Amino acid sequence: MALKEEESPKKAGQGSVSPTKAAAYALSLLSPGEWILPDELSSFLKIFCYGIDPPDPRKVCHAGCKQGCLAKQTIAEKTYYALPEDHTDAGAQMDPGRFLKKTNDGTVIVDISTIPYASLEFLAWISNFRVAGSQLTAFPNSVKIGRIVMNIDQVPLTSWLRKNASAFAGAISIIEQRWGKQVVHQNLLVARVRDLSLKVAIQKAFADSGKVVFLPDNFIAFPNDLTKKMEALVNKSGYVVKAIEAK
């Protein structure tokens, strides 16, 4: 008598997907302009997330919105969810106040765990970053802003920065006022640094000042009030400062 070997049962949860992926897939099936209540996802989550404790659809949707993956709207005290209009990034619909914190000096503290990638990338285009303890702070870089000032109004985050971050608002306003005008720099020095190690040392020493600008052909520019510090760094690194006065 032949014996037939029974198939091993599947492990609990084998083949299931995470609640966030399941919710994102369910919402992707909605028609344009269609929204859904979290409770309407319950049956869908039970099917796709079998083998694990049934997730709370309200918590799943709240987490997805906080991470910038979902958009939401509240009508008659009921909160509905959907994918963003472009189905890729909720940054344009997400309140920047969820991932940026205002400071007294007009800069912003960045919540790196919740900021959408597109918003972080935009901040990098117009800011310098500083890390203090566990906080990442962004402050405006006028040189960077000047390079893209004609395009930043197309980014929704610019409007929030104008209203809530005075340092950014001031920097953007000044550059817009000066745009297209010929600028004559006063008390500005230009130096040529050919040695790579010295250039790296200068970058590290003055990275947070925002006052040293690196130009093509190994030139750098900096205000006159940094002269003593610059000369001290050059001498300490074993190099000699050669000064040329323009006539």
Cα→Cα distances 204→3, 4, 199, 230, Å: 75, 72, 9, 12
Tokens of 199: 């250039």
Give the number of other CB atoms < 10 A from CB of residue 148.
13
| Location of structure tokens 């750098």 | 220
pLDDT at residue 173 in the model: 93
Which pLDDT score, from 0 to 100, does residue 154 have? 77
Residue 139 pLDDT > 90: yes
What does the mean pLDDT of the chain come to?
Answer: 80
Q: Which residue has the higher pLDDT, 94 or 72?
A: 72
**Parallel/antiparallel/unpaired status of strands 188-192 and 219-223:** antiparallel
Q: Is the pLDDT of residue 11 over 80?
A: no
Is 123's pLDDT higher than 60? yes
Q: What is the pLDDT of residue 102?
A: 92
With the CA atoms of 193, 197, 199 and 203 taken in that order, what torsion angle do they form, in degrees rounded to the nearest 10?
-170
Question: What pLDDT was estimated at residue 177?
Answer: 87
Mean pLDDT computed over 61-86: 78
* Among 21-30, 120-129, 231-240, the least confident range: 21-30
Looking at the whole model, is its pTM more than 0.75? no
The string of pLDDT tens digits covering residues 74-121 is 877 888 888 876 444 444 456 788 889 999 999 999 988 778 777 888
The more confident residue out of 44 and 16 is 44
C-alpha torsion sign, points 170, 229, 235, 244: positive
211-244: b (≥16 Cβ within 10 Å) or e: ebeeeeeeebebeeebeeebeebbeeeeeeeeee
